[in-house]
Structure 1
């Protein structure tokens, strides 16, 4: 037996996706990413990030083995079903204070266990499917069994504090409209909790609890399914599955159609089958076809939904929206009449109930009420009296030969009304829409699939381009009231150029718009009135001190955003005055990302560069001496640019060859460092063209200090760009 269990586990692990990482537990200070999976010891259950959409994930527990009849493994628990998170950079972390935290893309906390402990703790997955956070001595801090979603596993308790909530549909795993819970009378109840109305539909709502075989005196409120197939509740409700007594994998689930079912897995482990369900006729489930509709059921064909006469369906793919009037309701009695619908009942929402009155009295009671939508007039054989119910809403409609009642529907009195629709017909080809029980997707041609995916891919590419431009091209308004510490992008005001405009500007694409170091430009920027920082440094129109400081600060903010705020961290690799553009207000914008490098923030140590990148004079020593490349190479280049701005000297004036590569020999850096050793060093470092035109010597000193810190040979001694921003901003706001 032990050998067979081992063989089964080996089979499961060999069949896993080799790109995933499989764990047995999670300890303090560690985390779980979208590629990591925790597997129970018996291999039956898995826990981790379960994909519920395109790059949308939920923290979940599921059966490891996928049944042949299902497209995906069966999920038994989920933490964030109504708020899926991004697959990239999202993590489940177990903090050092023993709190489980589910964080979306490293920024927003989606879910937390709200636990705390100073002991050694561990998160592991039990063989019964219970995800447990416990101290090593055994104390349970949190467990998934205490917060079920739509499923109960054997041994898992449903209590007064918990409830099962269905999914929205078979393809939508978010919370739906149906719930299993204990009501205020201690009775286990199925409840329809729709967008507009709610009502109990199981046990049969017109019966008192003892008539339905339920007792309400036991206030313990607990229900449980055992492994042999018995489901029992403290209100005296007990059932046994059709395969009771067999040792099978089982689960009890409230499905998206509102029915409560027990599923068993056959001995071959090939598929799940229904071994018990609470409701045989699914038309008895409230809200199943939405308002203003009728539900009909037969065992062979399943359930059908149709609109009432003079009503039209709202959403063919989702009958929970029901139907809406195809006419304008009126309070004018002379403009209304009633359609007679045999074998039809509409449960609930009665405005008036009267007994032992004539049909005319009941009809007049409805027509005098502007809100009355119809009425039911029925002879009750038990009491021997006629009963009248007037309806202000048309919900829970059912059509069945077993129903003896007659419903009268209020509709407009018009000659254009077709007599062929005055009664409900079982096979009405216009109104009826099948609800398939197998939940198969609609068949689509290969061409349609290709066109659909092409459109999706094109849209995704276009969105990606927009995001890259927003991430790369930024400017900061230093005079605005926005919190600068957040490094938020300022609105760029891009202009969208049409194809014809670009064609005209380039004379039929025969004339170059621009050229960079890598070739012809394919990318059109908005016009930057003051050109590049290099243009300003080389011209006679010297930048004043205020503009210089703002350019330094704005450029630092842009680089800090690239290095630390984007989803994919970005190294520019070619920071120099030529790549810092200035608009009409001398607000800077970092440009030319031809040499940039995207970094995976989860694996920064694995950033590989196939070649040296940058411009001589601005390249950090790491490039020359084949050291690890980090964001500090941009910091170094930024420091060189600051020194050029401050001194008016060119970084490329003195170039030497090292190992066959042209590089800067450091004379500009040495010049400024030597000046710093003498009195009045700050004034002697400044470009003479600036003269004494600066308002704060301390600001000028901090700018020189920041520049020299950025060009340290040891990359670890350099500040990050966010630290540079903090230093410059602090002095910018000082009085």
Structure 2
């Protein structure tokens, strides 16, 4: 587009700019009834990524985008109102061009210079290689159909940290990263001055504050976009081509109800994986606006409270922030009396932590959400008990059709008549459109949410980085030891979300312990199998190296063999499950993983005695294409379970794990140690550390025959095993 030319809204289908690769289109995009914004969108299955006038749309008549001879790009509404411009000027020739990246640039030709570009002024979306800087902010849309600015902002704060802010009509608050964490506990660094965040074409999002994430489909060149959605969540979307639907490959908040302002004041948010998020008013309150949950609820009773106040108990309901203060070691009666003392106290939160009950009287009931992980109770102050209906959540703003507030009066004598005719026609069309929208929204809400649930499931991953102080608190100062090995000690802990965890503290002064740490993190975070221990996170802070795993209620296989807790059925299932876990490591992972230390101590049992192969500190990752050239810098494993390949310096393959697994099975059957102290029957000489496999083989070689096979099996089997076996 050259100087002196323009794009017209009345010819919006043809007056467009298209990128050379055909992926992006720029032009007038309809945002409501007779309302348009100048925008950039993906050409196929149109998805808007940028708007010049998202909060000030133009009329569908006589509106134009013009590149003036002064090099200023101007958007004019109805031929008379200047709505938006680039405020640029040049004495040289300029032109407007849409690049293959989706960047709209106003370029001076001689000398070559970019006077203005859309990448510097994002709306709610970042495209690959587009930078978010200290001078730009992503602002969420009001809804999926209303593109005007809403309440959620992604920006660099004054401390150089990338944050999400809820900037509502009455209050504002930071909610990502978690506001109760200082920057270093949130994995962020304030020591940078660049303030730049960018999404690359492979699916990695990197910020100068040390925040880095990879999409679940990282490594593939796709059509991608990062967006601050209307529900306050950041999501990375991807698709292979324009003919496919977008899917979510990462999102910032895995707990949707923790997003501030999502349900408004005096309400609570609940989340169900099948039906999604929903909002409901608290008892004694009603919706302020039936079409918009972000406005919250208002009391049905008169404030301040009348003569007698009652308190309604709500378990697992938490309201973040807006306390009169923090009152530790308060009983229920003390906390209740404290709330009654304040005339504007709307309730109090009573929860257990650090060995005492804590009291949080509330002067505002905001950011409420119900979660089983919250161990505490909120008591709502109400004149009487009431129950309210629960409303289904949608994006904060209703999907209303945008209307222009400006009036347009033409100078011609019959202009007013024509305008009134068009207005009447438009009003009638609006009524029909509203009826259609109401029907469409009702119909869409009755459909199965499977597609959305599937997309969100792709982005769900509980793996995270913990701080040392968090894990020290979770383990009560590392007080309850549940296991110990060469690499470190394992402690039982309770995480902040009430999950019971096994926390392995690697030896701080042992270099091998650090290598063990790196191997475990690299291996386990990408594995997912019912017979492998689940890893929830890690800590790498200073000299501290810790791993956080799911807790196995029945401890290790070694503990259960020694205590004779296993019958034949349980042992059989444990042997099969362990084999499946090892087969997954050897045959189904993207990389070839050897455990290298299979032994009963590293096979854990959950509440159902389901085996979980654990402790990948000695694991070895290899390329599947180079398994014949495996190099190990040291012998790995535990004496008695190590395969002969280690001793005779033979090539190391998956057979070393299979051999160790065989020793584990023999130990389960016989109840004997892998290295036994036995007495030789012939000469009475004690043989130290005789191998279990040799002992079993000798038993069969001395007297095996078809007539004696059953008695030999009985002689080898552990007498404590009950049940039928062969």
Report the TM-score, using the length of structure 1 for normalisation: 0.54
> Which residue of the partner structure matches residue 346 of structure 2?
373
Residue in 1 that maps onto 2:389: 431
1:610-634 deviations in whole A, cap 9, x for unaligned?
Answer: xxxxxxxxxxxxxxxxxxxxxxxxx
Of the candidates 48, 63, 79, which is equivalent to residue 90 of structure 1?
A: 63
Structure 1 CA distance, aligned partners of 2:293 and 2:330? 36
Rounded Cα–Cα distance in structure 1 between residues aligned with 2:4 and 2:349: 65
1:61-100 to structure 2, matched below 5 A, reads 61-66=40-45, 73-100=46-73
Pick 1 or 2: higher relative contact order, CA cutoff 8 A, min separation 6. 2
Alignment partner of 1:365: what SS?
helix
User: For 1:284-299, what aligned pairs fall within 5 Å after superposition?
Assistant: 284-299=258-273
> What is the CA–CA distance in structure 1 between the aligned matches of 2:139 and 2:22, rounded to whole Å?
27
Per the TM alignment, residue 359 of structure 1 is displaced from its structure 2 partner at its CA by: 2.2
Which residue is equivalent to 2:412?
Answer: 562
Q: Distance in 2 between matches of 1:369 and 1:354?
A: 14
Distance 2:23 2:240 in 1: 14
Question: Does 1:214 pair with 2:172?
Answer: no
> What SS does structure 2 have at the residue aligned with 1:360?
helix
Whole-Å separation in 2 of the counterparts to 1:30 and 1:566: 30
Larger Rg: 1
Q: 1:515-560: per-residue Cα shift (whole Å, max 9, x none)?
A: xxxxxxxxxxxxxxxxxxxxxxxxxxxxxxxxxxxxxxxxxxxxxx
For 1:147, the equivalent position in structure 2 comes to: 121
* Structure 2: stretches of 5+ with no match in the other structure: 420-726
Asked if 1:135 corresponds to 2:93, the answer is: no
CA contact (8 A) 2:146 2:399 kept: no
Structure 2: distance between partners of 1:409 and 1:436: 26
Match of 2:363 in 1: 392
In structure 2, the residue matched to 1:677 is none
**2:18 paired with 1:39:** yes
In the TM superposition, 1:239-318 aligns within 5 A as 239-267=213-241, 269-318=243-292
Matching of residues 96-245 of structure 1 within 5 Å: 96-137=69-110, 138-245=112-219
Q: Retained in 1: the 8 A contact 2:39–2:50?
A: yes
Which residue in 1 is equivalent to 2:29?
50
Q: Secondary structure at the match of 2:194?
A: coil
2:122 and 2:43 mapped to 1: Cα distance?
19
Conserved? CA contact 2:285–2:297, under 8 Å: yes
Q: 1:475-624 alignment to 2 at 5 Å?
A: 561-562=411-412
* Structure 1 contact 266–273 (Cα < 8 Å) conserved: no
Matches within 5 A, 1:336-375: 336-375=309-348
Q: Please say if residues 163 and 180 of structure 1, whose CA atoms lie closer than 8 Å, have aligned partners that are also in contact.
A: yes
Instruction: Decide whether the 8 Å contact of 1:372 with 1:390 is kept in 2.
Output: yes
* Deviations, residues 136-186 of structure 1 (Å, cap 9, x unaligned): 132000000000000000000000010100001112111011111111111
Q: Work out whether 1:27 is the aligned partner of 2:2.
A: yes
Superposition deviation, residue 567 in structure 1 = 10
> Against the structure 1 CA distance between its residues 365 and 62, is the aligned structure 2 distance closer, same or farther, given a 3 Å change threshold?
same
**For 1:408 and 1:371, how far apart are their aligned partners in 2?**
14
Structure 1 pair 164/101, CA: closer, same or farther in 2 (3 Å)?
same
Distance of 1:564 and 1:95 partners within structure 2: 31
Do 2:144 and 2:399's aligned partners in 1 also have CA atoms closer than 8 Å?
A: no
Secondary structure in 2 matching 1:289: coil
Give the conservation status (yes or no) of the 8 Å contact 1:129–1:153: yes
CA distance in 2, matches of 1:379, 1:567: 71
Determine the C-alpha separation between the residues in 1 that align with 2:144 and 2:242: 25
Whole-Å Cα distance in 2 between the matches of residues 203 and 294 of structure 1? 21
- Aligned-residue CA RMSD in angstroms? 2.7
Matched residues in 1 for 2:310 and 2:305: separation?
A: 12
Task: Tell me the CA shift for residue 307 of structure 1.
Answer: 0.6
Query: How many Å separate the matches in 2 of 1:268 and 1:77?
Result: 17
Give the whole-Å Cα distance in 2 for the aligned partners of 1:339 and 1:298.
24
**Residues 236, 567 of structure 1: alpha-carbon distance in 2 compared, 3 angstrom cutoff:** farther
2:304/2:344 contact within 8 Å kept: no
From the superposition, tell whether residues 350 and 431 of structure 1 become closer, same or farther in structure 2 (CA, over 3 Å).
same
SS in 2 for 1:361: helix
Deviations 1:177-208 (A, max 9, x none): 11111111111111111111111111111111
Contact 1:56 1:84 in 2 (8 A): yes
Cα pair 1:242 1:276 within 8 Å, conserved: yes
The Cα of 1:568 is off from its aligned counterpart by: 7.0
CA distance in 1, matches of 2:282, 2:268: 6
Gaps of 5+ in 1: 1-25, 67-72, 422-429, 443-451, 453-459, 461-466, 472-560, 570-735
- For the 8 Å contact 1:97–1:117, the answer to whether it is kept is yes
Report SS of the residue matched to 1:562. Answer: coil
- The verdict on how the C-alpha distance between 1:366 and 1:111 changes in structure 2, with shifts beyond 3 A counting, is same
Q: 1:257-307: per-residue Cα shift (whole Å, max 9, x none)?
A: 000000101357321111111111210111111110000112222101111
CA 266–441 in structure 1, closer or farther in 2 if over 3 Å, else same: farther
Structure-2 separation of matches of 1:440 and 1:330: 32
CA–CA distance in structure 2, aligned partners of residues 567 and 47 of structure 1? 34
Q: How many angstroms does 1:372 deviate by?
A: 1.0
Which digits, 9 at most, give the CA deviation of each residue in 1:375-430, with x for residues without a partner? Answer: 111111xx222211111111000111111111111111x5xx45xx4xxxxxxxx5
SS at match of 2:412: helix
Aligned length: 411
Q: 2:6 & 2:176 partners in 1: Cα distance? A: 43
Do 2:71 and 2:88's aligned partners in 1 also have CA atoms closer than 8 Å? yes
Q: Residues 564 and 160 from structure 1, CA distance in 2 versus in 1: closer, same or farther, beyond 3 angstroms?
A: farther
Distance in 1 between residues matched to 2:18 and 2:242, nearest whole Å: 21
- Shift in Å, 1:224: 0.0
Report the equivalent of 1:707. Answer: none
Contact 2:145/2:399 (8 A) holds in 1 = no
**Does the 8 A contact of 1:330 with 1:336 survive in 2?**
no
**C-alpha separation in 2, matches of 1:369 and 1:395:** 18
